[in-house]
A and B are shown apart, each in its own frame.
Chain A
Amino acid sequence: MPSLSIHNLNVWYGAQHAIKDISVDIPPRQITAVIGPSGCGKSTLLKSLNRLLDLNERVRVEGQVLLDGDNIYAVDQDATEIRTRIGLLAQKPFPLPMSIFDNVAYGPRIHGLANGNIQAVVQSQLESVGLWEEVKDRLSAPASGLSVGQQQRLCLARTLAVQPEVLLCDESTASLDPISARGVESLIRNIKTHYTVIMVTHDIDQARRVADYVLFMWLGELIEHGPAQQFFTAPAQPLSQAYLAREVG
């Protein structure tokens, strides 16, 4: 299982210091929830882990993110390779402009993972997110025709089809209706035996339900981190206590 650890990570957007000297080890095969108020740098932290921050020209990153001991920001690292190993489930479901089938098949196709049996790969991924029965008769229909909840499950299948080792979830249930949100949430809970999951959420209750480990952030700083049980029952920092009591944030 991959080890993911962050060492002295700093991120700037122009002059704005968005991530302030964060160091933490992410426990493998568990769900790590990143919580904190809006604008505290949760999403920035998440996007720094698969080098999606590279897309923003004004961003500057310092420090190290070690995946199995290799710094993903080292000059000889290929961002596309990193992103293959560290998948992302975005906040809003964004299918690719293709059919349902092609959405799931896209990743395996570009990475040559299907070994000539793309059909089976797509079916097993759609089954793993509970979408197969709903879409098996309209695989060539546009993915944009699915409901939002279905689209998010499709996006999960699409991400998992690349066979990542780590899954990043950026408030992945925030734009869904409550029932779909619970569905996606339990999917994420079920797959943690195979993946290291890092989930950004602003929903403390969700973090309580799913997290094994918690990072609590405040204004770009990592205030406290630890096993969820410990964090939610006896937070060490006054700021964490106040946040959990919903007095701040």
Chain B
Amino acid sequence: MSRRRRRKAEEQFFTWLMRFSLLGAACVLGLILFTIFWRGLDALSWEMISQAPQGGFYLGKGGGILNAIVGSLYLGAGATLLALCIAVPVVLYLHTYAADPRIRSGVRLALDIMWGIPSIVYGAFGFSLMVFLGLRASLLAGIITLALVVLPILARTLDEVVEMTPRQLREVTLALGATRFEWMGVLLRQSIPGLVTAILLAFGRGIGDAASVLFTAGYTDNMPQSLLRPVASLPLAVFFQLSTPFPEVQARAYASALVLTVLILVISLLAHLSMARLGRHVIR
């Protein structure tokens, strides 16, 4: 075979290989969506998403999972907000004041390790912390534990975005006589789209994590009432309903999974749509 034909064949082979890989990834997503839609759509009703469980809900009687929907939103939002309060200053500090590159790589390593720790470990840690503090399973304990889970996601995603800021932007800002704190403000503006992505990833992870809230947030059939009371969450609602022996309750588990997925989908779409507006001032 001539060299030219061999190179062409090589290119075609790898192009097709990449197309098949893409197809494989798309198929997995499609299959998951198909399964939860197919099995959950029937059980999904207005009652299901507008009411808390009534007596005998897990035996197939009336009610819904509003408690878990609201609980999960509280948990996800609370944890993201709490983690944000830590992640943003940490990342901005790393890129403005922390002059020693060893500090930066040290913090990054710590965050990467945190990212890799399974969430059940955070759950166990949160639980022992609760025991130590004399806290009961509650929304607050769930938020704190979940915040630890999403902190590395927020911080590292934001860190990567801030890292891509053109070096000259810092020079021209400081050349105007800006302090390092004022430079932080400019840096934050430049990083807004990345910040939104980071928040989104963190929230998506937070809202869907079961293991960390299992011991810490507990579960209840009541609507969330107070930071110090247990709350329900969607992943645990799926788990409890799926583990009953009743087919109609199991179908509701898929409906709950559907609600969870659609929730994340809608939030992703909204963020995506707002990105063009949020990112319009970004300097590339």
Output the nearest chain A residue to B100 by Cβ-Cβ distance.
Answer: A57
B281 touches A98 (CB 8 A): yes
Chain B interface residue number, banded: 20 to 34
Residues of A within 8 A of B189 (CB): 96-98
A52 touches B174 (CB 8 A): yes
Check B129 for interface membership: any CB of A closer than 8 A.
no
Q: Contacts A90-B168, A94-B166, A110-B182: A144 and B175 contacting too (C-beta < 8 A)?
A: no
Residues of A within 8 A of B169 (CB): 94, 96-97
Chain A interface residue number, banded: 20 to 34
B195 to chain A, nearest CB (A): 12
Interface 0/1 of A82-93, CB less than 8 Å to B:
011001101010
Residues of A within 8 A of B190 (CB): 97
B177 touches A144 (CB 8 A): no
Segment of A6-14, A61-69, A127-135, A155-163 engaged in the interface with chain B: A155-163
Q: Contacts A94-B169, A97-B190: A83 and B174 contacting too (C-beta < 8 A)?
A: yes
Q: Identify which of residues 164-223 in chain B touch chain A, using a CB-to-CB cut-off of 8 Å.
A: 166, 168-179, 182, 186, 189-190
Output the nearest chain A residue to B192 by Cβ-Cβ distance.
Answer: A97
B169 to chain A, nearest CB (A): 5
Check B4 for interface membership: any CB of A closer than 8 A.
no
Complex CA gap A110/B175 in Å reads 13
Residues of A within 8 A of B283 (CB): 94-97, 143-144
Complex CA gap A55/B172 in Å reads 12
Q: Contacts A52-B175, A80-B177, A87-B175: A94 and B168 contacting too (C-beta < 8 A)?
A: yes
Complex CA gap A107/B178 in Å reads 8
Residues of B within 8 A of A83 (CB): 174-177
Complex CA gap A52/B173 in Å reads 11
Q: Contacts A97-B283, A143-B281: A84 and B171 contacting too (C-beta < 8 A)?
A: no
A84 touches B172 (CB 8 A): no
